[in-house]
Each structure stands twice: as C-alpha cells, then as structure tokens.
Amino acid sequence: MKHSFDPIVDATSKVLILGTAPGEASLKAGQYYAHPRNRFWDIIYSVFGQSKETDYHDRVRFLVNNKLALWDVCAVFDRSGSLDSKITNEYPNDIEKLLQDFPGIELILLTSVKAEQLYLKHFRHLNIRRIRVPSPSPTPSRNAMTFHQKAQIWKEALTR
C-alpha cells in the first residue's frame, strides 16, 4: 500500500486542488508533483504570471500565499507505476473534515478525470462547487492539449 502526503492548506485557503494520488517520482522525493515532466508547478506559476521557484518550500509558500490548498483524493492506494488508471484498493483522504476545518475553501479543482471519478465515488454528497481541469501530467494522445491551452483553462477556473 502507498500513502499520500499531508495536505498543504491554511486558514486563508479558498481553493482546494485535488489530485488523484502521488506518482512514483513524488513518493520518492516526498513532494507533490515532483516528476520533471509534470507541468503542475509551471501551470500554477503561469496562472499568476510569475516565474517558477526552484525550491520546493518556496513553491509550497507560493500556493499558500495565493490562497490555494493542495491534496489528493486517495489517502492509501495500490498502484504499480504512476498511471491513475492503475490505482486499486483506494481509501480516500478525509476531504469532508478538511472542508469543515477550513471553511474558507469555496472551490475544488480536480486535476484529472480519475480524480473526479474517485471524488464523486466518495464525496458526491458534499455541497461545494467543483471544476475538473486538464491534467498537468503529460498525456500522449492525438487529442492532447498544449501547455498554454491547459494553463488557460486552469486560469479561467481559478479566476471565476
């Protein structure tokens, strides 16, 4: 069994960004979105018109300073590799309690189709606005979006 990380959140958080579960590079590094090809941090900094910090602690501070919280739907899960489609035996994080503890959160951004599916499986009953945004992971397909297309959708979601 693999375990997700603690949430990045504070009393000023307005938006909760929910991924599915940390990938292998993230688990190894002990950091959210650690794989060099994952564009999460590039997208977040782009949304705010800033240059990306290289230090992870500075990135975390950037999220908090911009009223963003970060967590994953899965608390515990089985998966070989990093593909969301390989997740089995998931047990969710206590998102309901997080929202009770941080009542300023008014929007959830779900970072993939799988994150949305798992969120709805476990938390459909929660009455909070949610938007699914394109995955920041590289997705090789003929329908793949460019970085700029993804960043624009994230920006629209975060500024509504």
Look up 127 and say whether it is catalytic.
no
Q: Which is it for strands 107-110 and 15-19: parallel, antiparallel or unpaired?
A: parallel
Q: Which helix (H) or strand (E) holds 19?
A: strand 15-19
* Separation in Å, CA 139 to CA 31, 35, 37: 21, 14, 10
Catalytic residue (one of 38, 66, 127, 143): 38
Structure tokens at 123: 């938390």
Are residues 37 and 136 in contact, defined by beta-carbon separation less than 8 angstroms? no
Reference 113, options 141, 80, 76; nearest CA is 141
* Long-range contact set of residues 45-51: C-beta below 8 Å, sequence gap at least 24: 46/151, 46/154, 46/155, 47/151, 47/154, 47/155, 47/158, 47/159
Q: Which is it for strands 68-72 and 15-19: parallel, antiparallel or unpaired?
A: parallel
Residues with a catalytic annotation lie at 38
